């Protein structure tokens, strides 16, 4: 009897081992996290992202269909800092998956250790949609990509320690590629250091800092508030006064208001990618910066 139960337990453990050794199922909130997880996890992981690359990550609809993949996931990776506060906590609770709840080994907050910008001293919603922990669009600085990758590697190593060396090797390769690409991107952008631009939404501060741009104003009068006529007048004046060459927007905003400014001033409009897969050809995290920088160069020249 005892022997039988030992065999039974051993078989169960065996099955469990087989199940975890093959594919680590990872669900990420955004496509950038998906791309970095794939680069670090290699063939040990299968990753799906809830948001698409061309979607506003603040406003993802918490469709029950996402719960299916979450309920089977071994690891959950989130941008954090209340970027996904309107949808991911609800999906996590509904997933009934204790492995990926906040505080569990399978929960990765990619923002751990990021040097945050625009952390508010006080909170007043009269200032629009402001983020209590700071601006959450930090993945748009490639050097922050390293911190994200470190956090993801830590998560993978927590739940799959047997492949630690594998993940560490991939992580080093990722660091190296970021360093190499960074040199290339910095060189390309160097001649345009200090270029003044207008942005639609306050989501470019990390990118702005890294590549030496200067965002003069936003199309939105306050974060999350659609452009008003008075704001358009203000922006038109600023474009003329500062010889601004470009208005930078994202795939999920309408261009109607920037069209007005462009018509009045001749400023160019540019829809940049805010995430991997925003447009065809942006297949990974590196493509994202290649695309955005090449696009910017065409208008800043």
Partner 1 sequence: MFATLFQNLKFKNYALQRVILKSKKLILLLWVMFTSILLNAQVVKDSTAIADSMLLKQIELQMQNNTQPAPAQTRSGLSANPDIGVIGDFQLSYISKGKKNIDAYLNETEVSFQAVVDPYIRADFFVSFGRDDATGKYGVEVEEGYLTSLSLPARLQLKAGKFKEAVGRINPTHAHALPFIDLPNAYVNYFGSGLNDEGLSLSWLLPNKKFYQELVVQGTSGRGESPSFKQSEGNRFIYLAHLKNFFTLNDNATLELGLTGISGPNDSARVTNIAAGDLTYKWKPVKMNTYRSLTWQSEFYYSNAAYTSDLSKNSMGLYSFIDYQVAKRWFLTGRYDYAQKPFDKKIIEQAYSLTAGWNATEFSKMEIEAKTTDDNVQSRYYQAWLRWIFVIGAHGAHQY
Binding stretches for partner 1 (CB under 8 A): 52, 54-56, 59, 61-65, 67-68, 71, 85-87, 89-90, 93-94, 96, 98, 101-104, 113-116, 119-121, 123, 125, 128-129, 132-134, 143-144, 146-147, 150, 168, 171-172, 175, 224-226, 251-252, 254
* CB closer to partner 1 out of 87 and 192: 87
Q: At what angle do helices 31-41 and 142-159 cross, to 10 degrees?
A: 60
Minimum distance from residue 171 beta carbon to partner 1 (Å): 8
Minimum distance from residue 296 beta carbon to partner 1 (Å): 22
* CB closer to partner 1 out of 57 and 192: 57
* CB closer to partner 1 out of 33 and 114: 114
Minimum distance from residue 261 beta carbon to partner 1 (Å): 18
Minimum distance from residue 145 beta carbon to partner 1 (Å): 10
* CB closer to partner 1 out of 42 and 128: 128
Q: Which helix (H) or strand (E) holds 95?
A: helix 88-95
DSSP symbols for 119-186 = --SS--GGG-S--TT----GGGSHHHHHHHHHHHHHHHHHH-GGGHHHHHHHHHHHHHHHHHHHHHHH
Minimum distance from residue 197 beta carbon to partner 1 (Å): 23
Strands 24-28 and 45-49: parallel
* CB closer to partner 1 out of 178 and 261: 178
How far, rounded to the nearest angstrom, does the alpha carbon of residue 232 sit from its chain's CA centroid?
29
Say if residues 75 and 26 touch (Cβ distance below 8 Å).
Answer: yes
What are the residues whose beta carbons fall under 8 Å from the beta carbon of 100, sequence distance 6 or more? 27, 70, 73, 74, 75, 76, 92, 106, 107
Minimum distance from residue 119 beta carbon to partner 1 (Å): 4
* CB closer to partner 1 out of 197 and 219: 219
Minimum distance from residue 184 beta carbon to partner 1 (Å): 17
CA 183, 217, 186: angle at the middle one, nearest 5?
A: 5
* CB closer to partner 1 out of 71 and 264: 71
Residue 80 CA to residue 82 CA, distance in Å, equals: 5
User: Would the CA dihedral through 177, 276, 295, 258 be positive or negative?
Assistant: negative
């Amino acid at each position: 009897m005892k022997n039988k139960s030992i065999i039974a337990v051993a078989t169960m453990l065996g099955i469990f081992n087989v199940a975890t050794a093959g594919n680590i199922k990872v669900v990420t909130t955004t496509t950038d996290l998906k791309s970095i997880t794939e680069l670090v996890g290699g063939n040990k992981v299968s990753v799906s992202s809830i948001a698409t690359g061309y979607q506003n990550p603040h406003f993802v609809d918490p469709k029950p269909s996402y719960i299916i993949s979450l309920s089977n996931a071994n690891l959950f990776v989130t941008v954090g800092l209340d970027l996904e506060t309107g949808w991911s906590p609800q999906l996590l609770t509904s997933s009934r998956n204790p492995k990926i709840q906040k505080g569990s080994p399978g929960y990765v907050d990619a923002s751990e250790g990021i040097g945050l910008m625009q952390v508010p001293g006080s909170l007043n919603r009269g200032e629009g949609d402001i983020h209590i922990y700071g601006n959450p669009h930090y993945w748009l600085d490639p050097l922050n990509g390293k911190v994200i990758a470190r956090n993801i590697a830590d998560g993978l190593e927590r739940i799959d320690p047997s492949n630690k060396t594998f993940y560490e090797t991939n992580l080093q390769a990722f660091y190296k590629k970021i360093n190499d690409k960074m040199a290339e991107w910095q060189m390309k952008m160097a001649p345009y250091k200090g270029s003044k631009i207008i942005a639609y939404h306050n989501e470019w501060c990390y990118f702005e800092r890294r590549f030496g741009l200067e965002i003069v104003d936003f199309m939105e009068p306050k974060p999350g508030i659609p452009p008003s006529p008075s704001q358009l007048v203000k922006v038109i004046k600023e474009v003329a006064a500062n010889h601004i060459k470009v208005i930078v927007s994202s795939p999920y905003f309408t261009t109607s208001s920037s069209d007005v400014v462009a018509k009045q001033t001749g400023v160019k409009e540019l829809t940049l990618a805010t995430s991997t897969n925003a447009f065809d050809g942006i297949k990974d995290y590196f493509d994202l910066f290649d695309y955005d920088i090449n696009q910017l160069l065409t208008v800043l020249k």
